Structure 1
């Protein structure tokens, strides 16, 4: 099978999954130039020739409140997708993150004889460890981003491969700060703060306001500061009114995407917890991690965490390398104070940048090649 051109189905459920899947597809296409892939995805996947039957943002929800509001639509999409794939089975299905959506789909497909791969081990080491039983039933193989995950899965009889993180391959070890500032119209002497409020609509509702209010406080304290805010596709209609309301006098440049340029160009970032925190670490940027959610989601999650860290750079370090301001602690005043503490302490910034370089080198494994080799072995066994 590995010498033939496989036909794959894939599902990525939000911007970060689309990014990971797009990088994976690049590696798969290098091995099988005629590869076809279809399912649910976004623009990064489409750029690799992916045929998106539904756009990835249809699945971009967070927490039980958001999921309940969109439950019927999302389950309808999953049922339709399952029927379509069972009627014309692919050689392999790859679920990219989105575990609550993908595990149910993977289980149906696996029971029908389709090989299933899950790309990104769910954070069972952080919370909801009971999901490991569902993984064992639904998935033939897991591609893991972090080095401690395969051993954890193998304890439960789940085949897994550490592939590193594709972003660590895509992002240069030395960020192109000068070129990125030039591309964004920023001066070399500017002190630049990047605001990354998240890529989900629910994140914008809860996180953008305190980030913008913190920017307003920082602008008062340091009038010379410049701010950049990358905005995920389709979210400008939510962001722009918030900027006008909460940061009307802030020297803020809204960007249409371009988050990597913003991270390369900035000195520090205020960033929503998630994949963006790892991106910030790979760009060696001191950060303040922020997160707020619906209070019902917070009550559910708060008591079920297995470790004190939420941000991925802190999880990898098993230490609070950077501050995390969550829920009630995520106030404009606290965010601004934490940002100023970075700006006022160059030695601390240099120290955390050195730790981020270690993490970058740990995660840089030629992910696309290793993942493609693992997938080829699975196809050979099919």
Structure 2
């Protein structure tokens, strides 16, 4: 898969989870190809050579209303990237997640440039806004799917796709002693992981509810021996979470890039709906899945949803197995009720972790990288 000319790859990533995926694929491409990278990425993609045009957190705007409030800013960022990619004559454009932002780039490059367009992480057309499939078919040359049912969906509508699988299929618990030593934690304590999200807009809604739980549970007979572990995505997130903690119990620990470590030693987690719920379940740490947003966002999204569950582990298991507390139901009294299910979930956690890992297996980074490169005629 070698070539004399360097392969120019444009890339746009706006999430930490997408940064990991992109790094896995780009790392494989770099093994056998001379490439230059242009665009926006997180720390892992930047280590591989992406010199970000702007901080990737600029794209971490969730829901339907917030993007509308920031539409001018997002359009300007997107237009600058399109011009930048065309100026640098990219051969391949890789959009990672952020489908509403990236589809505009896919569309512009398809009309104005000769690049091959790849979308890593399928837009959730199987959940809502199914009309997006027309744009996907028209402007995207290959969709890289994390889940098998997504790949099957695209095969049915005759769109080019590949089932990458999910990186969580290969993760395992970190040794408890190793984690305790790393963070200077006592073996006499028990642990609960609290994951309010990686975006400021998520944390704003979720952290007050999670703190209500911590303040309540730390004063109970059952909960007084627990330490509450909060993994933060980066410094910016750590700083924001700390603004909520002025009058909170002392047994709260925040560390960056510690999700796998913290989940590995926790009995259960209270987790904002998203990728972290899946990581928690796969590591044998049963999640109580929570989600809350502003009223207008939820009113619109709930009417457009085509599935019953929001938690990835429940969607993949095809049943309402882990507790889900959404919008009005996301409150302290319901978290208390969900705690009654935790002993059973803990007892079955290892069995379900293995089941989920098997569901998440796919073709992997190497085969996916080869398919991406083959779109430009390289083997």
TM-score by length of 2: 0.93
The 2-side partners of 1:24 and 1:373 are apart by: 9
How many angstroms does 1:189 deviate by?
Answer: 4.1
Secondary structure (helix, strand or coil) at the match of 1:228 reads: strand
Gaps of 5+ in 1: none
Gaps of 5+ in 2: none
The 2-side partners of 1:270 and 1:137 are apart by: 40
Deviations 1:111-162 (A, max 9, x none): 2221001111111111111111111111001111001112211222210011
Match of 2:214 in 1: 215
TM alignment of 1:122-133, pairs within 5 A: 122-133=123-134
Q: Find runs of 4+ consecutive structure 1 residues off by over 4 angstroms.
A: none
Match of 2:148 in 1: 147
The 2-side partners of 1:80 and 1:238 are apart by: 29
Change (3 A) 1:178 1:123: farther
Match of 1:329 in 2: 329
State whether structure 2 residue 228 is matched by structure 1 residue 227: yes
Greater alpha carbon shift after TM alignment, 284-293 vs 62-71: 62-71
The 1-side partners of 2:190 and 2:288 are apart by: 16
Greater alpha carbon shift after TM alignment, 138-147 vs 227-236: 227-236
Do the aligned residues in 2 keep the contact of 1:27 with 1:369 (CA within 8 Å)? yes
TM alignment of 1:80-119, pairs within 5 A: 80-111=80-111, 112-119=113-120
Match of 1:176 in 2: 175
Match of 2:353 in 1: 356
Change (3 A) 1:26 1:377: same
Match of 2:139 in 1: 138
State whether structure 2 residue 370 is matched by structure 1 residue 370: no
The 2-side partners of 1:2 and 1:130 are apart by: 39
The 2-side partners of 1:6 and 1:59 are apart by: 26
TM alignment of 1:300-339, pairs within 5 A: 300-339=300-339
How many angstroms does 1:263 deviate by?
Answer: 1.5
Match of 2:42 in 1: 42
Match of 1:71 in 2: 71
State whether structure 2 residue 297 is matched by structure 1 residue 297: yes
TM-score by length of 1: 0.93
The 2-side partners of 1:77 and 1:275 are apart by: 26
The 1-side partners of 2:294 and 2:281 are apart by: 27
Change (3 A) 1:113 1:334: same
Do the aligned residues in 2 keep the contact of 1:211 with 1:335 (CA within 8 Å)? no
Aligned residues: 374
TM alignment of 1:44-63, pairs within 5 A: 44-63=44-63
RMSD of aligned alpha carbons = 1.9
Do the aligned residues in 1 keep the contact of 2:289 with 2:323 (CA within 8 Å)? yes
The 2-side partners of 1:26 and 1:333 are apart by: 46
Secondary structure (helix, strand or coil) at the match of 1:148 reads: helix
Match of 2:29 in 1: 28
The 1-side partners of 2:91 and 2:328 are apart by: 47
Do the aligned residues in 2 keep the contact of 1:145 with 1:163 (CA within 8 Å)? yes
Secondary structure (helix, strand or coil) at the match of 2:76 reads: helix
Secondary structure (helix, strand or coil) at the match of 1:380 reads: coil
Change (3 A) 1:381 1:131: farther
How many angstroms does 1:15 deviate by?
Answer: 2.0
The 2-side partners of 1:7 and 1:166 are apart by: 26
The 2-side partners of 1:39 and 1:70 are apart by: 20
Deviations 1:165-188 (A, max 9, x none): 12333x23x443332232122233
Secondary structure (helix, strand or coil) at the match of 1:82 reads: helix
The 2-side partners of 1:65 and 1:321 are apart by: 30
